[in-house]
Amino acid sequence: MTGLLEVRVTSAAAADEAARGGADRVLLARPGPGGDLGPWPEEVAQARQATDCELRVLVRLREGYSTDGGEATRLRGLTWAYRQAGADGLVLGFLNGYGEVDSEVVAALTEEGDWPWSFDRAFDCALDRPRAWAALVGLPRLDTVLTAGSARGLEQGLDQLIEEVGQPGPAELAMAAGGLVAEQVPWLVRGGLRRFQVGDQPSADGVLAADQVSAWRRLIDAEVDRAESRRGSTRSDRPA
């Protein structure tokens, strides 16, 4: 059994490296001064030409996780442009002024279409995590929530995330993202997590090279296999 490996990339070249390294999918974004933004549609088309790997695209026009009605209209147009350019799915995440999942904006952006989507790390800035999970679990075509367990990253949120993935909703949706390091993978897998995002440790040229992606692929799959073998052994030891 294998885990799901997603690589966050900012160029077509990086998407190609990720695919050659064994990534299951890539998340394409455009680096901004205060955080990643959505790429230009032509960049999505270039990434699509560079790889057959599943391609998801970040939907964001400005820094931060808030938006308004006028921008939401522009965002809807952007989602259409990304799909036309070859995106297989989208990644988005918005919070309202109360620090809650902005269900109205999320619904407006996802109500049409048949594409899968992810809620991004805006989730980790929600003031009430259980309430945020409740707002997301069961939404149509949502199959991933990117989270580190804390807005400060996995170094601080590891225990919280492991606790959450023991629950049915988060267990089906959570993907570890936000400063993942190799030493955290065994703990997360033992806790039940099977989805991981990397891309925070690029090489000198700004691209996570194929051999680096391959190393993540081997590590994740080995830990998942080990965990599943232990689970199988436990089941076989139980009396009939």
- In the chain, DSSP finds a helix count (H) and a strand count (E) of 9, 8
Q: What is the number of other CB atoms lying within 10 angstroms of the CB of residue 120? A: 24
Average pLDDT over the chain reads 92
What is the Cα–Cα distance from 137 to 130, expressed in whole angstroms? 11
Per-residue model confidence as pLDDT tens digits over 193-222: 999 999 855 555 668 999 999 999 999 999
Q: Are the C-beta atoms of residues 141 and 115 closer than 8 Å to each other?
A: yes
Q: Model confidence over 135-168: pLDDT tens digits?
A: 999 999 999 999 999 999 999 999 999 999 999 9
- Residue 100 reports pLDDT greater than 80: yes
Domains of the chain by range and CATH? 4-237 (3.20.20.380)
Q: What per-residue confidence (pLDDT) applies to 70?
A: 77
State the residue for tokens 């690029």. Answer: 202
Burial letters for 52-69: b for 16+ Cβ neighbours within 10 Å, e otherwise? Answer: ebbbbbbbbeeeebebee
- For 235, phi then psi, to 5°, come to -65, -40
pLDDT of residue 149: 97
* Alpha-helix runs per DSSP H in the chain: 12-20, 41-50, 69-85, 103-110, 129-136, 154-164, 168-173, 185-190, 210-237
